[in-house]
Amino acid sequence: MITIALAGNPNTGKTSLFNRLTGSYEYVGNWTGVTVEKKVGVLKKHGGQLVDLPGVYSLNPLSKDEGVATYSLLHDQFSAILNIVDASQLERNLYLTLQLLEYGKPLVIGLNMIDVAKARGIRIDAELLSKRLGCPVIPIVARSGAGCDDLTRKLAATVDEQNPFVIDYGQTLEEAICQFASMVPENQGLPPSRWLAIQLLEGNGVVRDLLVKHIPVSALNEWMENTEKRVQEETDFKSIVHYIRIARGRCIQSLLASSVTNEGSHGTTLTDRIDQIVTNKFLGLPIFLLFTYLIFKLTFDWLGTPLSDGLDEFITGPLSDTLSSWLHAAGATEFIEALILQGIVAGVGGVIVFVPQIFILFFLISFIEDSGYMARVAMVMDKIMESIGLNGKAFIPMIIGFGCNVPGIMAARTIEQPKERLLTIILTPLMSCSARLTVYSLFVGAFFKQNQALIVLSLYLMGIILALTLAKLFSSTILKQESSFFVIELPPYRIPQLRILLQSTWEKGKGFIRKAGTFIFGGSVVIWLLSYAGPGGMDVPMDESFLALIGGSIAPILAPIGFGNWQAGAALLTGFLAKEVVVSTMNIIYVAPDLPTLQGVMADFFTPLSAYSFLAFILLYVPCLATVAAIKKETGSVKWTWFSVVYALLIAYIISIVIYQGGLLLGFH
Amino acid sequence: MFLADRRAGEKVRIADTSRMNELVKRRLLDFGIMEGSAIEVKRILPLGGPIAIEAGGQLIGIRRSDAKLMMVEVV
């Protein structure tokens, strides 16, 4: 079977094209670093495999996601490379193309965003470009699908060998390349020696790691030093990296001169005008906060809550009644009926009612991601982030973490500095994810009817402020580092397409629904059984059940923070599985047929103050199971995984005790 | 003179980057921005925040502290 690698600069639409060609759906956004892992899909038309690699500017990696791409090109078996090129940024994109062509694998170029280029007055003669590069060049628009069929046909036809593209690097370097070729062992399946030589000279660590397995380090170093010295002596360049860059640049200029005409007028573009407002001196930060506030208003007050209420009425009303009458008709035992209605419907249904709110939140996050605003937020936030030992890019994982912490933690890969990355991974779980939202919704509906959005916003802000404070603390103690750096590309704004937004929303939200069908379903059954059975047998009063016993064992610890009852203890323990399970557990424990009743019953166990303390505890106490697994995977360290669990518990307890005891002192209750 | 001294809307050419952080230089090189490149200062964020520069149709944000180390000349 043929395998094709999809490579290109960040934010050129690789993932959009991947989705077009494979018919699958991957995460699409308008910011650098959307794809941080390689993904494999099956090509629609001819059944080959397509591997979506993270975007890279060159084959010489600087951050972890870039390393994935270069490593994969070197070590995985590809029959061809599909290079996606942003037609409106041809000069920069061709830099990678040249390196790929030098590599010598059959290559097809997808000239993407040809519509954007045209709108800017850039005209590209694809045929001429194809002739000069010696590979097919197909103009496409990945977002709409134009030209993609043509591209698929070309891909199917290009599986034979291709001669590497040769750039003249000048006599000095050419001699060194020849000399290098004699050092490289033959028949080891290595890439062309010419390509290896140039990449090595550019300081490519992945290539170096590969070469030291075949060539003695001393020989490599000697050759490199000699070459560097000769370049410095015989040319007027200070470094060989610069020299190679200029040689490639010259080649690109000559390609552009022959096949591209630019009749664009450089007036103020839409992007300029939007940037003038959103990155404005005075307005930048307030606008960001306003956006955040609007998102909350939409999710809770204006749109989400009415929809959730409607769904709740349906589940507790018609759905429960129908199920109940069916069960009667089928002659189900009382045990089965109780298990289904009080266990499963209460547990799963209690979480499902929040689906509208969660999908609205995901939709709005997708909108921000796809519009190009994300990179601006990173820039506006950089100064603040720098002062606490992070950089603006760390803000992106945190925003994504509002949806779900797991992809947030993955997104931290685009951060180049290892310590900043680790810090971001550890702190992202403090971002209040959508699963925690279900618990907030339940409680604010019961205790803070007048100020729902405000209370929830305060919890989100609490997470952010704590994350920033702890970042400062950790970066100046256990995670000290010498230099931090920040360079970010600000992509042009684009109007998000409804189709892509809906896809993205579904992609993010379907995990939530899947969890409801698995984790929460299973959890509900187990929790209900634990509440049904006790040391005294089956169908015991809830207070004498196993669940009461287990929850009661940690209740004394929870008393100082305001909720020393077994119900809260049991809910918190089960919440480690997934934070929504807290809601399921409460639905089962308080045997409430619907949301209003549940909220009424809760008033017997919580006061507004202890409810707020509970919410803060839920926000902070431990990352859920899936997040802990992601932290383990991304840090590769058991120590840091434990650290992130333990510090969260400590912080949660401290904050809750401050809220509760402080609140009591101030006369709240 | 340094990039950080220029005002928004000014066009300059990069003269010397030898004082700059290696990683920043590498990343800028990825964007094709190096000694000799023509750039335009697009936006300067407040309170010592980053500077947005345009080069070859791309918009890039860099830190003010790095801009203070980038020598430029007026074109």
pLDDT in tens, A506-536: 877 787 788 778 877 888 888 889 888 999 8
Mean predicted confidence (pLDDT) in A226-235:
89
pLDDT band at B66 (very low <50, low <70, confident <90, very high): very high
Give the tokens for residue A95. Answer: 């830099």
Q: Looking at mean pLDDT, say which of A108-112, A113-117, A266-270, A501-505 comes out highest.
A: A108-112
Distance from CA of A210 to the nearest CA of B (A): 22
Question: What's the Cα-to-Cα distance from A189 to each of A53, A106, A182, A214, rounded to whole Å?
Answer: 22, 16, 16, 11
Listed in sequence order, the DSSP H helices in A344-415 are 346-352, 355-371, 373-387, 395-403, 405-411
Residue A503: exposure state from Cβ atoms within 10 A (0-12, 13-18, ≥19):
middle
**pLDDT greater than 80 at residue A216:** yes
Least Cα distance to A72 among A210, A202, A199, A200 occurs for A210
pLDDT band at A503 (very low <50, low <70, confident <90, very high): confident
Q: Is B9 on the interface with A (CB under 8 A)?
A: no
Residues A144, A112 contacting (CB under 8 angstroms) = no
pLDDT band at A93 (very low <50, low <70, confident <90, very high): very high
pLDDT band at A25 (very low <50, low <70, confident <90, very high): low
pLDDT recorded at residue A26 = 62
Instruction: Encode pLDDT of A461-480 as tens digits.
Output: 999 999 999 999 998 888 77
pLDDT recorded at residue A368 = 83
Instruction: Encode pLDDT of A605-660 as tens digits.
Output: 899 999 999 999 999 998 888 788 888 888 888 999 999 999 999 999 999 999 99
DSSP state of A188: S
**pLDDT greater than 90 at residue A578:** no
**pLDDT greater than 70 at residue A29:** no
Out of B42, B45, B62, the one facing A380 most closely (by C-beta) is B45
Residue written as token pair 């404070």: A469
Q: Is A62 on the interface with B (CB under 8 A)?
A: yes
Mutate to test the interface with A, among B44, B58, B65, B70 (most CBs of A within 10 A): B58
Residue A194: exposure state from Cβ atoms within 10 A (0-12, 13-18, ≥19):
buried
Instruction: Encode pLDDT of A36-81 as tens digits.
Output: 566 788 887 777 888 888 888 888 887 777 788 888 888 888 888 9
Question: In terms of DSSP bridges, do strands B11-16 and A487-489 run parallel, antiparallel, or are they unpaired?
Answer: unpaired
pLDDT recorded at residue A10 = 84
**pLDDT greater than 60 at residue A267:** no
Kindly determine whether residue A382 and residue B61, on different chains, have CB atoms separated by under 8 Å.
yes
**pLDDT greater than 70 at residue A160:** no
Distance from CA of B37 to the nearest CA of A (A): 11
Listed in sequence order, the DSSP H helices in A262-354 are 270-278, 284-296, 304-314, 320-329, 334-338, 346-352
Kindly determine whether residue A386 and residue B63, on different chains, have CB atoms separated by under 8 Å.
yes
Distance from CA of B52 to the nearest CA of A (A): 8
Instruction: Tell me which of A631 and A279 has the higher pLDDT.
Output: A631
Q: How far apart are CA A313 and CA A318, in angstroms?
A: 8
Q: Is B31 on the interface with A (CB under 8 A)?
A: yes
**pLDDT greater than 90 at residue A159:** no
Q: How many CB atoms lie under 10 A from the CB of residue A186?
A: 7
Out of A91, A238, A487, the one facing B60 most closely (by C-beta) is A487
Indicate the range of A141-145, A261-265, A473-477, A564-568 predicted with least confidence: A261-265
pLDDT recorded at residue A89 = 86
pLDDT recorded at residue A223 = 94
Distance from CA of B33 to the nearest CA of A (A): 10
Instruction: Tell me which of A6 and A73 has the higher pLDDT.
Output: A6
Instruction: Encode pLDDT of A107-117 as tens digits.
Output: 999 999 898 88
pLDDT recorded at residue A161 = 67
Question: What are the E-state strand segments in A155-265?
Answer: 260-262
Q: How many CB atoms lie under 10 A from the CB of residue A166?
A: 12
Consecutive H or E run containing A40:
strand A39-42
Residues A486, A417 contacting (CB under 8 angstroms) = no
pLDDT recorded at residue A96 = 93
Q: What share of chain A in percent tops pLDDT 90?
A: 30
- The reply to whether the predicted model has a pTM over 0.90 is no
pLDDT band at A266 (very low <50, low <70, confident <90, very high): low
Q: Is A242 on the interface with B (CB under 8 A)?
A: yes
Indicate the range of A18-32, A127-141, A294-308, A389-403 predicted with least confidence: A18-32
pLDDT band at B47 (very low <50, low <70, confident <90, very high): confident
pLDDT recorded at residue A257 = 92
Mean predicted confidence (pLDDT) in A212-232:
92
Q: How far apart are CA B60 and CA A62, in angstroms?
A: 17
Which is it for the CA torsion A532, A536, A538, A539, positive or negative? negative
Mean predicted confidence (pLDDT) in A185-205:
88
ipTM score assigned to the predicted complex: 0.94
Give the tokens for residue A138. Answer: 């197909």
**pLDDT greater than 70 at residue A264:** no
Q: How far apart are CA A416 and CA A5, in angstroms?
A: 24
